[in-house]
Amino acid sequence: MGTNRRDFLKSASLSLTGGVILSKMQLGGFAEAFSFFEPLDITNPLAAYPDREWEKTYRDLWNYDSEFTFLCAPNDTHNCLLKAHVKNDTVVRIAPSYGYGQAEDLYGNKATARWEPRCCQKGLALARRFYGDRRVKHPVIREGFLKWLKDGMPRELDGRVPAMYMQRGKEPFLRLTWEEAFEFSAKALDNIARAYNGKEGSEKLLKQGYDHDMVEAMHEKGVQTLKFRGGMAPLGITRIFGVNRLANSLALLDAKINNVGADKAKAARCWDSYAWHTDLPPGHPMVTGTQTVDWDLSCVEHSNHIIVWGMNWITTKMPESHWLTEARIKGAKVTVIACEYSATANKGDNVLIVRPGVTPALALGFSHVIIRDKKYNADYLKKYTDMPLLVRMDTNEFLRPNEVDASYKLGEISGYIKVVKDGEKAPGGLKQNMPFITQKMRDKWGDFMIYDTVKKTAVPVNRDDYGNNMVKKGFMPALEGKFSIKLADGNTVEVRTVFDMMSEYVMENYDPKTVEELTWAPVKGIEEIAKEIAKNAGKTLFAMGMGPNQFFNNDLKDRAVFFLAALTQNIGRVGGNVGSYAGNYRGAYMSGLPTYIIEDPFNIQLEENKPATLKKYFSYESAHFFNNSDRPLRMGKTNMTGSTHMPTPTKSVLVSNGNSLLANNKGHYEAVVNAYPKVEFITCLEWWWTGTCEYSDIVFPVDSWGEFKHPDATISVTNPFLYIYPRTPLKRIFDTKADIEILAGLCDAFGDLTGDNRFKDYFKFVGENRVDVYLQRIIDNSQATKGYKFADLEEKAKKGIPALLMTRTTPKFVGYEQDKEDKQWYTKSGRLEFYRDEIEFRDSGENMVVHREPIDSTFYEPNVIVGKPHAAIKPKSPQDYGVSIDNLSGDVRQSRHVVKSWADLKKTQHPLTAANKDFKFIFHTPKYRHGAHTTPIDTDIVAVWFGPFGDMHRHDKRNPYISELYVDINPKDAKELGVEDGDYVWIDADPEDRPYRGWQKDKNSEEYKLARLLCRARYYPGTPRGITRMWHNAYGATYGSVKATEENANGLAKNKFTNYQAMFRRGSHQSCTRAWLKPTLLTDSLIRKNNFGQGIDKGFEIDVHGATGAPRESFVKIEFAEKGGLDGKGLWEAAKKKIRPTYESEDFLNYIKGGFVKKA
Amino acid sequence: MAKVKNWHLKREMEYPYEENRPNKQIAYIFDTNKCIACQTCTVACKTTWTAGKGQETMFWNNVETKPYGSYPMRWDVNLLKEMPNQIWDKKTGVYKGKTIFEDKPNGELAKGWRPEERDYAFPNIGEDECSGTVDKGAFFNGIHDVWMFYLARICNHCTYPGCVAACPRKAIYKRPEDGIVLIDQSRCRGYKECVKACPYKKTFYNMITRVSEKCIGCYPLIEKGEQPRCVQTCIGKIRMQGFLSKPGEEREDNPIDYLVRIKKVALPLYPQYGTEPNVYYIPPVHVPKEFLNQMFGPGVDEAITNYKNAKNDPKSLASFLMFGNTPKIVHSVKAEDDFAVGYNEKKEVIVKVPFTEPIFVRSFEDTQLGTFRHNTP
């Protein structure tokens, strides 16, 4: 490509007219080589330049030998097919594939090029990670764990492993062969399962202090103490969901241990993902029966008003941001609601800054304006919601037809539901064309009553009386009103419609003035945004983010936002809907997954094209109980944990594809200090040495995305594509294997250990390099992919082209069928349900949609239900559980139901403030643009952009890395604390349980040094006073990294044994969080669709109904630690330069005002 | 000193060399209303061109948050405060102040200042920081009471580059075929005069090679008809690269000409310095006009009005819908029915997108394949 001599001469002579006079010497060989000896005479460098040979340098730098495609899919919902540029067998550069515009489906529907380009800074930096020094390069084992194995796995009398073997995080790791790694792992798991098996095993666990109900939930099966988690499993439908398959295989182990057959065998336990990450919006199933209502983000193309609410869209949905900004160009209004002037705020036409954790109150405030101004759609509410249903005021339960007429018989229902009679089989797999329930369940559900305005009496309605069908039947329900109803038993009861009660609550408690005080949202903003919502009925999209979801009142937030959306008919429409955006979760799009996950290990299908036999032996549970130091939720002596939710004790943990469970978990140091030592074996599969590896006993090294030798597939909940991870030609850089090969290897090792060859057959197709057999089985059995051929999909993926997922619509959006086709929701009434009359909700005072204060992140008394006395709010009080009303401890707070009006609540204080006035800051930990969780943030060229302290040269040796995490604080607050911009501060949350229980015993301990959060403070003008923020994404301090900061001459927080690199000197953003369990998420009664398929059931369901935690909640004190200047002296150098908020020089202030330039 | 015509200033100005516009002038449009500060452009550039030793703190491309962000630190304030009487004529839009070539100290070719090494530390200082403190709840609409926005920056491949003017070795030149400004890596001796003179601080001194270097406009890609790396990887789809016609030769179907010269929605960065920079910015609609006038010159009101009105102008909309849809250079754009169509230099269609994304509704039952299609799986 370079200019050769002849071209050069030609261009030189042509450009003579441009004024270049060539030096003759320049043309000579000698002179060319030593051109700097001879001055050039260039008259005009704008016109021509003599010797441009050198330009070849950059062309050479650009040129590459070959390229290949791989899929980058951290848990960020985007999934980008990227092109790697390869030079000398090394990936040198990464680019977007520009293949999305060619994506199509089986029917010929095509995506547009507007989906291009797809990539981000983290993905483009991956080449540096493929070859990085934190790759797990071969299998390793913790020294002490190897000793335990070598010593014959000794135990104390109560079963405990002696403490000398359990020094996790403090020891070096030793290399293992692959065979050893598999064998040792299988032996350890087998040993644990046997140790805790049977009656004896249960007794040991009780002696160790585990909750009786948890031990009981094991049914004396030792395998039930083994916990497995494939993190964000939809991201790898074979390699990550394969962890569940591995768990299912352990039924064979149980059969061996207990000498039972397939009928009595049980397998291990699997943990949740979407709910564990607090990504599940738990109120969605309460209102709609479905896991989550959401929509592909390109739906904004069809909307007039987009409310981005507690969602930092432009930093967490980066490749989808253009839909928002382009909708705006095309005339849509964008409203941003956040608890600071967020990154997304700069894309807002309306920006509303509010107090964190008050979303239910704000939604009720908007609803107040809409109800007050009569802007709601009464017709819609009557047809599609439970608003006209009658509730008895004596019991607060729904009025049932048989209570009025004893002879009332339940009729058949058939509107978009199949009632499966006893003895009948439920529709399976591809044939599922509507939700189905058992006859028993239908009988239990019963029917409902409305007040008919034509007949002027209460009449029964059943599930079929929905939408236009109800109108056809001639029902004209009253939306409002109190009625006296004579019951069959002769008594008369007062009944009210749900709307009547809700509107009373909203009108009495959430007028704009009150809401302004409570939420900090100015009245003007409340009024204007509410008007905009009403004006765009059916055309307003609510994009709800992770922010509001990570507070304890998250289910109420969902219920309140749906209430607001229902008032204005903004549900289930392409341009008017509710969506929740946190995490990638919907494995259910691959509805054929059970064919893989729960293949019966006793009866394995070894032929390629034949269907697998399915049987589920493992059980799911929420990891939040493990996160709660392996305890259920109790209030006094009452177990508040529904039996369907009950966890078992955790004695081993295997985790793949995720750092969140063990190293980026809420209350991380409580787990490190108090929970992990009780777990006997921790193993993980990783390609990058994470904090999880730091606390593991055996670490299996896996291929990076660039090195996949086995294909895989995934989907996304924010875009319409079906993705294949294609196999890549890049040679493995280290001694790694595919995740799925490791699962197969473990299974094989169990085969060797037990002599049961079925273990070896279970992942047979992996060994034959035919993972595609499993993939094709899943594709063939999934309603959204049926018809695709895996081989075709992979060929296209290799060219950077995904396929379109064949859901009902593209873009996909939940509620299409319910809105457009009058199909019922997945609820008892078939309607959108706002009133929950189940006992758990009534006991919690949450049968109506109410606002509760955050459980920790509030300046007032925590978790209080806000409202004046209301006939429907009658929760159980603490005294009802035998707990003092004055007990505000964290554990008690979770089930503490106290009702106060705003007028009373505002006079209260957070209990920490009452005890120590220095506790006065809300501290929240959102996600941000420079990390997909912890995924790429320690890559140098990404890290240096992470925040204001990124410094490639690490001038200040206190920096744990070339960048470090910091707390954002309002400058005025910082000044009051005597903290300058860039100073280091200590941050402490509730001393009762953070950073871990028992820290007070020894403040000089290694543990406390590890766990207490130390970081820089940044003056951040966009956050209101009292509100502080730290990004969620960074690697926390570990024992090894803390030691390194003291021992390394350069101060780098890099574990010398493992190369683990922390972004903190001490502690992490999880030093201030803890586990929180909410009673209304632990019910056995909530009706909801199953995770996979159209079946409806009740109680716990993995990632649909279960604990979610509240990781955004913490209330802290902040104190000065060290000066920010070099060597801990004086001001941080940037503040010294007078360009920082509140440090500005006069010229800088003039600059902000635009004062240097005038029009005159 | 020659007298050259600077259309940004609407007047002639002094420059060390005669006016000589290249055959084609590389130009970019950056829409600040779309920029998300993800730094994908930055990393794309870094991993392609500046991954070597001596380039650790060097970012040819960077994105900074205004007002508190600046890389290198204070790059714009330092020069703004040195330039006297920066006045635009209210009526005519003519620049009445002096440029860096006109207000230079004795013996120098352009006015400037040279950053110190530590000025390149903390490249993302000021990220997301807004112009004033938010002390409690707030509501803004229209122009925000406190504000910030993202400014993506590369070399402006100026028509009258400060670096070219200042280089004592004449080792910096402008390519006649595309207007890209290059520092000859074999001739540069690292005097750092260009570092001092570039008002945008987009020439960098490499302490290992001991020569200066800068954004090369990704000419190895341009030569193949492809847009630069920072443009191809821009997921905010804020960027379009093309060629700006010479004044008076504008084409309506050239999206760069149309948006820059005809609709005037995209404006130069600090045009008052006189370099005639060729990265054109659509100003942020929510920021006070005083700041924007200081940064983008006197055309801000018109630009924002026309930007807000783009929804009613199919030609503007078609041009906006070209951003980021293709790695190829778009030479012309047409609005054809409900589609925006982009063409290459040979008038071949390279990209075609609908104005509004389609909605596909699949039939509920696929009898042939024996399945049902759900939106709630």
The whole-number pLDDT of residue A584 equals: 87
pLDDT, position A583: 85
Taking CB atoms and an 8 Å cutoff, what residues of chain A touch B142?
349
Distance in Å, alpha carbon of A721 to nearest chain B alpha carbon? 13
Closest to A280 measured CA to CA, from A714, A659, A76, A582: A582
- For residue B186, the chain A residues in CB contact (below 8 A) are 35, 51, 53-54
Can you tell me the distance from the alpha carbon of A247 to that of A616, in angstroms, rounded to the nearest whole number? Answer: 10
Chain segment A257-315, per-residue pLDDT in tens: 999 999 999 999 999 999 999 999 999 999 999 999 999 999 999 999 999 999 999 99
CB pairs under 8 A between A and B: 449
Q: Is the pLDDT at A533 greater than 80, yes or no?
A: yes
The tens digit of pLDDT for each residue in B147-159 reads 999 999 999 999 9
Q: Report d(CA A847, CA A555) in Å as an integer.
A: 12
Encode pLDDT of A701-741 as tens digits: 999 999 999 999 999 999 999 999 999 999 999 999 999 99
Q: Tell me if A1139 sits within 8 A of B127, measured CB to CB.
A: no
Residues of B in contact with A94 (CB under 8 A): 47
Note whether B125 contacts A331, CB cutoff 8 Å.
Answer: no
Kindly list the residues from chain B whose CB atom is less than 8 angstroms away from the CB atom of residue A315. Answer: 36, 38
Check residue B298 and report its DSSP letter: T
Indicate the average pLDDT of chain B. 97
pLDDT value of position A27: 44
pLDDT at position A8 over 50:
no
8 Å CB contact of B134 and A353: yes
Per the CB < 8 A criterion, the answer to whether A1101 and A1088 are in contact is yes
Mean pLDDT in residue range A500-524: 98
| Residue in B74, B293, B351 closest to A1157 by CB | B293
User: Which among A18, A61, A127 has the least Cβ separation from residue B49?
Assistant: A61
B354: chain A residues, CB-CB within 8 Å = 112
Which candidate, B256, B283, B287, B259, places its Cα nearest to that of B269? B283
Q: Are A1033 and A933 in contact, with CB atoms under 8 Å apart? A: yes
The whole-angstrom distance between B139's CA and the closest CA on chain A is 5
Percentage of residues in chain A having pLDDT higher than 70: 97
Tens-digit pLDDT profile for residues A594-622 = 999 999 999 999 999 999 999 999 999 99
Q: Are B34 and A326 within 8 A, CB to CB?
A: yes
Q: Higher model confidence: residue A30 or residue A965? A: A965
CA distance A575 to chain B (A): 11
pLDDT at A945: 97
Exposed (0-12), middle (13-18) or buried (19+): which is A209, by Cβ within 10 Å?
Answer: exposed
Q: Can you give the pLDDT at residue A40?
A: 63
A25 or A234, which is more confident: A234
Say if the Cβ atoms of B88 and A1157 lie within 8 Å. yes
Across residues A394-410, what is the average pLDDT? 97
* Per-residue model confidence as pLDDT tens digits over A450-470: 999 999 999 999 999 999 999
CA dist A57 and A219 (Å) reads 71
Contact A911, A881 (CB under 8 A): no
d(CA A372, CA A245): 54
- Contact between A48 and A15 under an 8 Å Cβ cutoff? The reply is yes
Across the range A34-57, mean pLDDT stands at 82
The pLDDT assigned to A16 comes to 37
Nearest to A1021 among B57, B134, B289 (CB): B134
Summarize pLDDT for B264-317 with one digit per residue, the tens.
Answer: 999 999 999 999 999 999 999 999 999 999 999 999 999 999 999 999 999 999
- The answer to whether A559 and A387 are in contact (CB under 8 A) is no
Which residues from chain B sit within 8 angstroms of residue A973, using beta carbons? none
Instruction: Give the global pTM.
Output: 0.96
Q: pLDDT-derived band of residue A26, with 50, 70 and 90 as boundaries?
A: very low
Residues of chain A contacting residue B327, judged by C-beta atoms under 8 Å apart:
98, 117
pLDDT band with cut points at 50, 70 and 90 for residue A19: very low
Report pLDDT for B104: 85
Option in B122, B136, B170 nearest A1024 (CB): B136
Q: What is the 3-state secondary structure (H, E, C) of B95-161?
A: ECCCCCCCCCCCCCCCCCCCCCHHHHCCCCCCCCCCCCCCCCCEEEECCCCCCCEEEEECCCCCCCC
The whole-number pLDDT of residue A557 equals 98
Residue A349, phi then psi, degrees to nearest 5:
-80, -35
Token pair recorded at residue B160: 């009258």
Contacts of B167 in chain A (CB under 8 A): 45
Position A5 pLDDT exceeds 80: no
pLDDT classification of B331: cutoffs 50, 70, 90 = very high
State whether A46 and B134 contact (CB < 8 Å): no
Is the pLDDT at A38 greater than 70, yes or no? no
pLDDT higher than threshold 60 for residue B220 = yes
Query: Rounded distance, CA A294 to CA A584, Å?
Result: 11
Distance (Å) from the C-alpha of residue A1014 to the closest C-alpha of chain B? Answer: 20
CB-based contact A1139 B74, cutoff 8 Å:
yes
pLDDT at A39: 58
Percent of chain A beyond pLDDT 90?
Answer: 95
Residue A199 has pLDDT above 50, yes or no: yes
* Per-residue pLDDT reduced to its tens digit, B43-81: 999 999 999 999 999 999 999 999 999 999 999 999 999
pLDDT in tens, A673-704: 999 999 999 999 999 999 999 999 999 999 99
pLDDT value for B105: 85
Q: Name chain A contacts of B352, Cβ cutoff 8 Å.
A: 113
- Report which residue type is found at A559: R
Contacts of B130 in chain A (CB under 8 A): 341, 345, 1021-1022
pLDDT score of A21: 35
Residue A1020 CA: distances (Å) to CA of A924, A1024, A1141, A1146: 14, 9, 7, 20
Alpha helices in A861-991 (DSSP H): 890-893, 902-905, 911-915, 940-943, 971-977
- Check A1021 against B129: CB less than 8 A apart: yes
pLDDT tens per residue across span A326-364:
999 999 999 999 999 999 999 999 999 999 999 999 999
CA A249 to the chain's CA centroid: 28
pLDDT at position A25 over 50: no
Q: What is the pLDDT of residues A1098-1109, one digit of tens each?
A: 999 999 999 999
Burial of B20 from C-beta contacts in 10 A (0-12 / 13-18 / 19+): middle
Among B284, B289, B357, the residue with its CB nearest the CB of A112 is: B357
Mark yes or no for CB contact B124/A574 under 8 Å: no
Check CB contact under 8 Å for B272 and A301: no
CB-based contact A1134 B73, cutoff 8 Å: yes
Nearest Cβ partner of B176 from A47, A588, A1134? A47
Over residues A47-60, the mean pLDDT reads 96
Percent of chain B, pLDDT > 90?
98
Q: Which residues of A379-401 are buried (b: 16+ CB within 10 A; e: fewer)?
A: ebbbbbbbbbbbbbbeebbbbbb
Whether A1022 sits inside 8 A of B376 (CB atoms) is no
